[in-house]
């Protein structure tokens, strides 16, 4: 309601936006039709050997309850959770440095490093990780050369490898959101804390961290949603050993041509995403109160 | 409330021995530059224990920089900053035991009033019960009792100000630092906060450094004023002293209203000089005029309330025509056009409201000065 009023007001004050209304509505309509098609497919029976679906049924959804599929769902949530956590842990110091470093070159260097993943396609990025993580890859070669390990360390086809690559993918969003939150924290708050007897670390823990909480929540939530639909990364680095929902959809849809079942996976995946995000929101509500507003 | 104040009062040595250890903060030969900008240049200043010292000066003269040197947000390029007997040049802010009130208050927006005020005590790891009691006491002192659970954004500007003051005071700081604390308040609130701050500061006896560029605030609030210009302290003294005996042109024109009249040096005798202006011979201090030849042009600074107007013929310092009258309630400001004034205008402040009818616009008047109140500087 509020949002619509706002949009209405914006359109009124900026008349040129009016010309976007029709294309926007058309796009929305197209997406809606696609969603309806997926939903419709998910309720149809699968006829082996045929691309056309059969009659209405709920069988696809009951089949999802099999441990095999439930496992993939859990795995997906877990990978999203790990990715969001690691991205936060690595991204926070980066965002902090980005906001507080004075040197302009250092600032640009951080920004470029963090943002580059956005410019490379997911596939290119994933292949570079294969070069880094592979058994003959960058890390293993160095460790072998230095004699630290005797056999290559297995990164490829492991959940760890997938998460590492996904963290890289998610980093830009996280850092940008955290940096936005951090840059809104007035320096005076820190000086006030210090004048009251807080050392650097305590000032950070009692002032900066809680005040950046809205950014943390936004970053984690977005990373979560962002990772949920990951496809190329788990496909290439997981190599079938680490499956997320998208990979399962791909296998069922394009290897077995079981479109109805693939569609029901999509619907369930979407529902799960929404469920997890609302849970996340619920869980972070008390934390949000810590923020500035 | 008085018991509260007694609890919080620091041990202020009452003996007026004038001993060296009566100094709470001392700057000696302090310099600070930011890139090419010289913010402070060889500043030496001693602030006595328990006094309210105001740093007064125009924007950019280095007041905040000097204050921040006490707070420790950076260290001086040269010279020494001492708090008590301790050289603090390289002591971190959080170890300095100072209380600072920021211009925008800098209240932590995510904490309640109680948590804000108790923050410094929590950092000192006091037991919870003690914190609660002292927070309650200090909130009572600033007249905010009962607002513990509010968030800063639920308070008015004046209330936020009091919270900021309470937060700085509750830790019994060695020095209280206030950087233009009242600049964001409207005129009435500012006046009442000034009175209140003064009362609280007196009751607690806390050494206070107060920064302002508002000369009337400085005059009404301070025990002593340090007038600054371009990174230097130009004069230090009690408000009355600064007002009545400014040591240089800048101080005379920056503090209080002053009329500047061009006269001639008549003669110098001992510590006194006589300046001739019209028929008048005005006695002034000779110190600022040292080295001037007889008959040299000098500028006479006369306060508006030290001038008299009359329409009786006779000897006078100058003549003028009433150009405007401004009714101020308790007094009337008359603006006169006069050829002797350096700016062409003179401001005369007359008590009561009779002046409105007595000296209508266009009236020609003779101007004279109160005896021995003017100061003079080389033109
Ligand atoms: N962090 C800084 N970096 C660069 N220059 C600075 C910095 N802080 C102060 N300066 C400069 O030093 C000079 C003194 O600044 P300062 O803030 O002490 O002035 P001020 O007397 O407090 O002025 P105002 O009344 O405007 O607050 C100014 O010329 C200012 O531009
Ligand atoms: Mg300032």
Mean pLDDT of B15-28: 70
Band (B356; pLDDT cuts 50, 70, 90): confident
Question: Which residues, chain by chain, have CB under 5 Å from ion ligand 2?
Answer: B 64
pLDDT tens for A218-247 read: 999 999 888 988 999 999 999 888 889 999
Nearest to B109 among A193, A194, A292 (CB): A292
Nearest to B106 among A186, A198, A203 (CB): A186
Mean pLDDT of A143-151: 88
Band (B12; pLDDT cuts 50, 70, 90): very low
Query: Cα Rg for chain B, rounded, in angstroms?
Result: 24
Question: Can you give the three-state secondary structure of chain B, one letter per residue?
Answer: CHHHHHHHCCCCCCCCCCCHHHEEEEEEEEEEEECCEEEEEEEEEEEECCCEEEEECCCCCCHHHHHHHHHCCCCCCEEEEEECCEECCCCCHHHCCEEEECCCCCCCCCCCHHHHHHHHHHHCCCCHHHHHHHHHHHHHHCCCCCCCCCCHHHCCHHHHHHHHHHHHHCCCCCEEEEECCCCCCCHHHHHHHHHHHHHHHHHHCCCEEEEECCHHHHHHHCCEEEEEECCEEEEEECHHHHHHCCCCHHHHHHCCCCEEEEEEEEEEECCEEEEEECCEEEEEECHHHCCCCCCCEEEEEECHHHEEEECCCCCCCEEEEEEEEEECCCEEEEEEECCCECCCEEEEEEECCCHHHHCCCCCEEEEEECCCCCEEEEC
Q: Min CA distance, B99 vs chain A (Å)?
A: 6
Return the pLDDT at A9.
59
How large a percentage of chain B has pLDDT more than 70? 94
Task: Give the binding-site residues of ligand 1, using a 6 Å CB cut-off.
Answer: B 34, 37, 39, 57, 59-65, 213
Return the pLDDT at B341.
84
pLDDT tens for B302-337 read: 999 888 888 877 777 788 888 888 888 888 898 988
| pLDDT of B1 over the 60 cut | no
Q: Min CA distance, B236 vs chain A (Å)?
A: 27
Residues of B within 8 A of A210 (CB-CB) are: 110
Domain segments of chain A as ranges: 66-288
Mean pLDDT of B180-195: 87
- Which of A174-183, A238-247, A258-267, B12-21 has the highest mean predicted lDDT (pLDDT)? A174-183
| pLDDT of B193 over the 80 cut | yes
Mean pLDDT of A132-156: 89
Return the pLDDT at A10.
61
Q: The tokens 């963290």 sit on which residue?
A: A167
Sheet with B297-302, edge to edge strand ranges: B280-285, B272-277, B259-269, B297-302, B375-378
- Ligand lying nearest the CA atom of residue B66: 1
Return the pLDDT at B222.
94
Mean pLDDT of B194-212: 93
Kindly give the distance from the C-alpha atom of residue B33 to the centroid of ligand 1, in angstroms, as a whole number.
10
Return the pLDDT at B14.
42
Backbone angles phi, psi at B275, to 5 degrees: -110, 135
Return the pLDDT at A1.
41
DSSP string spanning chain A? -HHHHHHHHHHHH-GGGHHHHHHHHHHHHHHHHHHHHHHHHHTB---TT-SS--SB-SHHHHHTTSHHHHHHHHHHHHHHHHHHHHHHHHHHHHHHHHHH---HHHHHHHHHHHHHHHHS-HHHHHHHHHHHHSTTSHHHHHHHHTTS-SS----TTSHHHHHHHHHHHHHHHHHHHHHHHHHTS-HHHHHHHHHTT--HHHHIIIIIHHHTHHHHHHHHHHHHHHHHT--HHHHHHHTTSS--HHHHHHIIIIIS--HHHHHHHHHHHHHHHHHHHHHHHHHHHHHHTTS--
In sign, the C-alpha dihedral spanning A155, A160, A161, A164 is: negative
- In the structure encoding, which two tokens stand for residue B312, read together? 């009786």
Kindly give the distance from the C-alpha atom of residue A162 to the centroid of ligand 2, in angstroms, as a whole number.
53
Q: Check: CB of residue B367 under 8 Å from CB of residue B318.
A: yes
Q: Which of B68, B109, B120, B164 to mutate to test the interface with A (most CBs of A within 10 A)?
A: B109
Say if A210 is an interface residue toward chain B (CB within 8 Å): yes
What's the mean pLDDT when you consider all of chain B? 88
Tell me if the domain spanning B257-378 has CATH number 2.40.50.100: yes
User: Which of the pair, B292 or A244, is modelled with greater confidence?
Assistant: A244
Band (B95; pLDDT cuts 50, 70, 90): very high
| pLDDT of B6 over the 50 cut | no
Say if A199 is an interface residue toward chain B (CB within 8 Å): yes
Say if A192 is an interface residue toward chain B (CB within 8 Å): yes
User: Which of the pair, B177 or A253, is modelled with greater confidence?
Assistant: B177
Mean pLDDT of B235-248: 92
Q: Which residue's alpha carbon is at the smallest distance from atom 2 of ligand 1? A: B34
What's the mean pLDDT when you consider all of chain A? 88
User: Which of the pair, B286 or A186, is modelled with greater confidence?
Assistant: A186
Indicate yes or no: CB of B99 within 8 angstroms of CB of A210.
no
Cβ contacts below 8 Å, chain A against chain B, sum to 69
Residues of A within 8 A of B88 (CB-CB) are: none
Nearest 10 degrees: Cα torsion A238, A244, A247, A251? 110
Return the pLDDT at A7.
56
Assembly ipTM:
0.80
Q: Min CA distance, B232 vs chain A (Å)?
A: 25
Return the pLDDT at A292.
58
| pLDDT of A33 over the 70 cut | yes
Q: Min CA distance, B191 vs chain A (Å)?
A: 25
Q: Check: CB of residue B130 under 8 Å from CB of residue B171.
A: no
How large a percentage of chain A has pLDDT more than 90? 48
Domain segments of chain B as ranges: 3-97+173-249, 257-378
Residues of A within 8 A of B120 (CB-CB) are: 196-197
Which of B331-340's residues contact partners 24+ apart within 8 Å by CB, and which partners?
A: B331/B305, B332/B356, B333/B304, B334/B309, B334/B359, B336/B309, B336/B365, B336/B367, B338/B261, B338/B367, B340/B261, B340/B262, B340/B263, B340/B277, B340/B278
CATH architecture of A66-288: Orthogonal Bundle (1.10)
Return the pLDDT at B26.
95
Mean pLDDT of A125-146: 90
> Would you tell me how many other CB atoms lie within 10 Å of the CB of residue A31?
10
Q: How far apart are the first and last CA of chain A?
A: 22
pTM for the full predicted model: 0.82
CATH topology of domain B3-97+173-249: Rossmann fold (3.40.50)
- Ligand lying nearest the CA atom of residue B55: 1
Q: The tokens 């740093």 sit on which residue?
A: B55
Indicate yes or no: CB of A196 within 8 angstroms of CB of B109.
no
Band (B8; pLDDT cuts 50, 70, 90): low
How large a percentage of chain B has pLDDT more than 90? 52
| pLDDT of B289 over the 90 cut | no
Q: Which residue's alpha carbon is at the smallest distance from atom 20 of ligand 1? A: B60
Nearest to B108 among A189, A199, A202 (CB): A189
């Amino acid at each position: 309601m509020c949002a619509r009023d706002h949009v209405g007001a914006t359109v009124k004050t900026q008349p040129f936006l009016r010309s976007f209304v029709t294309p926007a509505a058309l796009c929305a309509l197209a997406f809606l039709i696609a969603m309806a098609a997926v939903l419709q497919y998910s309720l149809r029976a699968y006829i082996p050997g045929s691309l056309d679906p059969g009659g209405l049924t709920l069988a696809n959804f009951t089949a999802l309850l099999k441990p095999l599929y439930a496992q993939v769902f859990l795995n997906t949530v877990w990978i999203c959770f790990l990715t969001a956590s690691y991205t936060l842990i690595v991204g926070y110091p980066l965002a902090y440095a980005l906001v507080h470093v004075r040197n302009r070159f250092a600032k640009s260097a951080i920004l470029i490093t963090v943002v580059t993943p956005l410019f490379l396609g997911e596939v290119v990025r994933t292949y570079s990780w294969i070069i880094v993580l592979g058994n003959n890859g960058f890390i293993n070669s160095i460790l072998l050369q230095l004699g630290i390990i005797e056999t290559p360390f297995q990164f490829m086809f492991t959940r760890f490898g997938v998460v590492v690559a996904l963290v890289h993918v998610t980093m830009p969003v996280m850092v940008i959101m955290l940096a936005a939150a951090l840059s809104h924290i007035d320096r005076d708050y820190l000086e006030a804390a210090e004048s009251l007897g807080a050392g650097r670390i305590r000032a950070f823990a009692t002032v900066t961290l809680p005040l950046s909480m809205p950014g943390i929540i936004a970053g984690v939530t977005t990373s979560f949603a962002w990772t949920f639909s990951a496809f190329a990364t788990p496909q290439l680095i997981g190599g079938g050993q680490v499956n997320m929902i998208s990979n399962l959809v791909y296998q069922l849809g394009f290897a077995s041509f079981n479109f109805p079942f693939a569609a029901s996976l999509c619907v369930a995946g979407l529902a799960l995403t929404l469920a997890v995000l609302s849970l996340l929101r619920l869980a972070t509500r008390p934390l949000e109160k810590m923020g500035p507003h | 409330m008085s018991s509260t104040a007694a609890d919080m009062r620091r041990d202020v040595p009452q003996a007026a021995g004038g001993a060296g250890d009566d100094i709470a903060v001392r700057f000696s030969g302090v310099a600070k530059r930011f890139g090419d900008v010289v913010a402070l240049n060889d500043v030496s200043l001693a602030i006595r224990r328990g006094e309210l010292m105001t740093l007064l000066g125009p924007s950019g003269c280095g007041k905040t920089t000097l204050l921040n040197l006490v707070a420790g947000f950076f260290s001086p390029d040269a010279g020494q900053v001492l708090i008590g007997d301790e050289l603090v040049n390289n002591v971190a802010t959080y170890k300095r035991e100072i209380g600072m009130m920021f211009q925008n208050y800098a209240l932590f927006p995510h904490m309640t009033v109680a948590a804000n005020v108790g923050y410094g005590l929590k950092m000192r790891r006091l037991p919870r019960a003690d914190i609660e009691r002292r927070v309650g006491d200090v909130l009572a002192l600033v007249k905010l009792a009962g607002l513990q659970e509010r968030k800063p954004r639920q308070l008015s500007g004046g209330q936020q100000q009091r919270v900021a003051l309470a937060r700085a005071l509750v830790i019994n700081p060695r020095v209280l630092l206030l950087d233009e604390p009242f600049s964001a308040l409207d005129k009435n609130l500012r006046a009442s906060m000034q009175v209140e701050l003064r009362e609280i500061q007196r009751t607690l006896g806390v050494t206070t450094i107060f920064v302002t560029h508002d000369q009337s605030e400085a005059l009404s609030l301070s025990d002593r004023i340090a007038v600054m210009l371009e990174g230097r302290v130009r004069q230090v003294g009690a408000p009355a002293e600064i007002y009545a005996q400014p040591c240089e042109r800048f101080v005379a024109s920056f503090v209080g209203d002053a009329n500047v009249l061009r006269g001639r040096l008549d003669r110098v005798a001992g510590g006194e000089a006589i300046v001739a202006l019209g028929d008048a011979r005005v006695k002034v201090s000779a110190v600022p005029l040292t080295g001037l030849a007889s008959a040299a042009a000098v500028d006479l600074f006369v306060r508006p309330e030290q001038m008299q107007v009359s329409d009786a013929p006779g000897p006078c310092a100058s003549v003028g025509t009433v150009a405007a009258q401004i009714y101020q309630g308790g007094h009337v400001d008359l603006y006169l056009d006069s050829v002797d004034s350096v700016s062409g205008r003179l401001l005369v402040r007359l008590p009561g409201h009779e002046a409105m009818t007595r000296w209508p616009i266009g009236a020609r008047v003779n101007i004279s000065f109160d005896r021995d109140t003017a100061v003079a500087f080389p033109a």
